Amino acid sequence: MTSTTSTPLAGTDRLRPSATSAGRTSRRRMRKDLLRSRIAAWTAIVVIGAFGMLPVYWLLATALSSPEQTFQFPPKLIPTDITFSNFTALAENDQLITYLVNSLIVASITAVLSVVVATYMGYSFSKFRYRGRRSLMHMVLASQMFPQALLLVTLYAVFSSFGLLNTYTALVLSFTTFTMPLCVWMLKGIFDTIPDALLEAASIDGASRWRTLHSIVAPLAAPGMIAAGLFAFVRGWNDFIFAVTLADKEKQTLPPGLVSTYIGEFQTAWPELMAASLVVSAPVVVAFMFLQRYLVGGMTAGSVKS
């Protein structure tokens, strides 16, 4: 933050006692302003941090509580009788491992497929000019605006008629439908920042268009591709409605799996559910920790044109 207090001109007022005093007052004010702004900043950090982290803390606290403690009224912020039984119970549930493996398979393939397809589409939109390009670009973007549930019935009928229900293929294709538009636009923005001169130079050196894309453009756009892949992975990892509709128990992913296992007609096993949620979030959290710089870089890469 900048101070609005005016400072005396150097030299002219240095010898005047009143000016020295004014300078001290001014510095005090500046210090006060700095202190105030620091307090404000820290308050904001604490409030926003609490807003973001309290649910995670609550998740952890519930996972470490017994069912009786979970339903204690009024609830206690800090659990007193800590138990790890909710975590040990997870290891005994083979079905959860199946859900976890399914989630990893489906989300990973969705991420790869989305990035591969979006790379070609984004490159085409960015570096080529042809009739209907803008319309196609907007059509791709518009498809992102439809609520997922709207396409569910159509996709269900399509997969049913082609015998694809209860397969990984159905899940991957349906997830990709929703991850694709943003991936395409994200990558188009990144390709836009790559100078055409580079492509022309490659062409002069004899590189084919495919070679140019694969050997020159793709490495430069790698952070963006990783960001797009992460986005697609997380969308695939978190999807509930498509996974519950298009896949049976053997192919279902974690979100419907956890709901099926822990949320029943009469009660919800909150401590076990929270423990399971914590454990299954771990791979995504770890992936984010390692790849977050690419994600931030990739998301903002297309924001400024060179």
Residues that bind another protein (CB under 8 A): 67-68, 70-73, 113, 117-125, 127-131, 133, 136, 140, 143, 151-158, 160-162, 165, 173, 176-177, 180, 184, 195-196, 199-200, 203, 209, 213, 244-245, 248-249, 256, 259-261, 263-269
Residue 168 CA to residue 77 CA, distance in Å, equals 41
Complex with another protein: residue 12 or 154, whichever CB lies closer: 154
Cβ at position 73, least distance to another protein in Å: 5
**236 alpha-carbon distance from chain centroid:** 11
Name, in order, each residue with C-beta under 8 angstroms of 298's C-beta and a sequence gap of 6 or more. 186, 190, 223, 224, 225, 226, 227, 228
Cβ at position 306, least distance to another protein in Å: 11
Residue 155 CA to residue 77 CA, distance in Å, equals 45
CA nearest 275: which of 76, 74, 60, 124? 60
Cβ at position 145, least distance to another protein in Å: 15
Residue 303 CA to residue 306 CA, distance in Å, equals 10
3-class SS at 167?
Answer: coil
Complex with another protein: residue 207 or 222, whichever CB lies closer: 207
Cβ at position 104, least distance to another protein in Å: 21
Complex with another protein: residue 42 or 71, whichever CB lies closer: 71
Amino acid at 270: W
Complex with another protein: residue 214 or 293, whichever CB lies closer: 214
Complex with another protein: residue 197 or 282, whichever CB lies closer: 197
